Amino acid sequence: MSALSPAPIPSPRASGPALREILYPTDLLPESSAAFDHVRTLAERFRACVTLYHAAARPDLEFTRGVEEQWSGAAEAARRQLVEAARRLPGEPAICVEKVVSPARALIAWIRARRPDLVVMATHGPGGLSHLLLGSVTEQVIQHARRPVLCVRLAPGDSLLPYRRLLVPTDLSPASRAAFGHAAALARAFGAQVVALYVAPAGADPRAVSEAAVRSLLRDHFPETEVVARVDQGRAWERIVHQARAERADLVVMACQGADEVGERLLGSNAERVVRHAPCPVLVV
């Protein structure tokens, strides 16, 4: 067992969303390895099965001989790397390497077909080529795969594990409550404290929603967990990032999908900005 992993406790599957299958997509670059410790810790804690996935993109050699050979060679090299990584995971991980033209589209299709309980991916903060390449794939998965995605953009060895303090933003709508079950399951599994955050829009009366009201909303969703409520005001994603720093959160758990097109755009846009700027991993549900 990893030194980062807490000791086993009775199965956290007893209630809340099941976490039996975890997908770990990786492009095998060093930047992607930041997510691996999270995969291992979650697999150990929830006794989940892990699939390691790599999309081997077609070489950009349109007018050069040997494209197919190079493509197959790259896929086989990727498989060998995943086999080595799988040895550091519990159970019997599955390995999938696909030869594809578009890694993002192939990954989304794989997720939609197999519907894993959780996708754990590395991403990057704002700016730079790494964000354009790796971050854009993660954002496409968040937007289109319709599965919970844990986004990790910290450097390897700086993983904020285990999760001891969870920040759970809510706008008090039914759509935002989609994240509560996942946050509750993680809080039980890791013995974590939950900090519930409501951000009032700029110009609104911040006293209209009290911390007691936010706590009351979450009470039934977190019956076994200590919940602290915070009320802030301003642009939602900025205040979420600020509170993640102020509360020293190990993980932000928030909803992305809304109940309608307008709500989906607003929640999704906030989630993507939080993923880019938060000082800790973000689970987008």
SS (H, E, C) the chain: CCCCCCCCCCCHHHCCCCCCEEEEECCCCHHHHHHHHHHHHHHHHHCCEEEEEEEEECCCCCCCCCHHHHHHHHHHHHHHHHHHHHCCCCCCCEEEEEEECCHHHHHHHHHHHHCCCEEEEECCCCCHHHHHHHHHHHHHHHHHCCCCEEEECCCCCCCCCCCCEEEEECCCCCCHHHHHHHHHHHHHHHCCEEEEEEEECCCCCHHHCCHHHHHHHHHCCCCCCCEEEEEEECCHHHHHHHHHHHCCCCEEEECCCCCCHHHHHHHHHHHHHHHHHCCCCEEEC
Question: Domains in the chain, ordered, with CATH?
Answer: 12-152 (3.40.50.620), 165-284 (3.40.50.620)
For the record, the structure tokens of 60 come out as: 């950009």
> For position 269, what pLDDT does the model report?
75
Q: How confident is the model at residue 276 (pLDDT cuts 50, 70, 90)?
A: confident
74 and 48 Cβ atoms separated by less than 8 Å: no
Q: How confident is the model at residue 257 (pLDDT cuts 50, 70, 90)?
A: low
Partners of 156 in beta bridges: none
pTM reported for the whole predicted model: 0.85
Q: How confident is the model at residue 161 (pLDDT cuts 50, 70, 90)?
A: confident
- Mean confidence (pLDDT) of the chain: 84
The CA-to-CA distance between both ends of the chain, in Å, stands at 28
The yes-or-no verdict on residue 191 having pLDDT over 80 is yes
**Span 230-238, average pLDDT:** 94
Q: How confident is the model at residue 230 (pLDDT cuts 50, 70, 90)?
A: very high
> For position 70, what pLDDT does the model report?
87
Whole-number Å distance between alpha carbons of 158 and 279: 11
What are the pLDDT digits (tens) for 21-33?
999 999 898 878 8
Q: Which of 267 and 196 is assigned the larger pLDDT? A: 196
> For position 283, what pLDDT does the model report?
97
Lowest mean pLDDT among 28-42, 187-201, 246-260: 246-260
Q: How confident is the model at residue 15 (pLDDT cuts 50, 70, 90)?
A: low
Share of the chain above pLDDT 90, in %: 57
The yes-or-no verdict on residue 47 having pLDDT over 60 is yes
